[in-house]
Amino acid sequence: MKWRRLNGDPIFEIKEKVEQTIIEETQKGHRLKVCIGTDSQVKGNSVEFACVIVFLREKKGGFMYINNYRMEKKEMSLKQRMILEVSRSVEVAYSLCDLFDQYDIEMEIHADINTDPYFASNKALKEAMGYILGMGFAFKAKPDAFASSSCADKVV
């Protein structure tokens, strides 16, 4: 996985970088919260994904680390794509959750799925929510899922 900062600077070991960030930010007196989300867009014969790790400093703004990747479109329904987004966020959260537990950092997974049943993405809501909650993570969906629907959406 190739991670980067918003300015394009590469991040070589994401787990080390996340721990370093937690240490530096807490030493500066910031109370942190982390939100992980993924968004995707169909572009031609492929689907482009962006997964973000958003660090929020209580009352002091935030920043994010970004991972972009692409896969062949094949035959994929919108529901399948939504579940792929969620599984990517869960994978990243699972790889980092020991750090968040160690440093007592609140973490949420944000799903780019609408809670309004009139939207097509809503078809994946129950499965996504069950998957995330079943893994023991906090869950947010639209309109509260800014990590996926705003942050990741801007970099996909």
* Tens-level pLDDT at each residue, the chain (156 residues): 799 999 999 999 999 999 999 999 999 999 999 999 999 999 988 999 999 999 999 999 999 999 999 998 778 889 999 999 999 999 999 999 999 999 999 999 999 999 999 999 899 999 999 999 999 999 999 999 999 999 999 999
End-to-end CA distance of the chain: 15
Question: What is the residue range of 88's domain?
Answer: 3-155
Query: Residue 4's beta-bridge partner residues?
Result: 10, 66
Q: Is the peptide bond before 117 cis (omega within 30 degrees of 0)?
A: no
* Coil, helix or strand at residue 97: helix
Phi-psi region of 77 (alpha: psi -120 to 50; beta: other; left: phi over 0): beta
Predicted pLDDT at 89: 98
> Structurally, how many domains does the chain consist of?
1
Q: Which residues are within 8 A (CB) of 76 and not within 5 positions of it... i.e. 6 or more apart? A: 47, 84
Beta bridge partners, 40, equal 49
Structure tokens at 7: 């300015």
Phi-psi region of 136 (alpha: psi -120 to 50; beta: other; left: phi over 0): left
Name 52's bridge partners.
Answer: 37, 66
For helices 14-27 and 78-102, the axis angle rounded to 10 degrees is 50
| Structural element, H or E, at residue 119 | none
Alpha helices in 3-147 (DSSP H): 14-27, 78-102, 125-134, 146
**Per-residue pLDDT at 127:** 93
Residue 133 is predicted with a pLDDT of 96
Q: At 11, which CATH number?
A: 3.30.420
The two structure tokens encoding residue 147: 């990590």
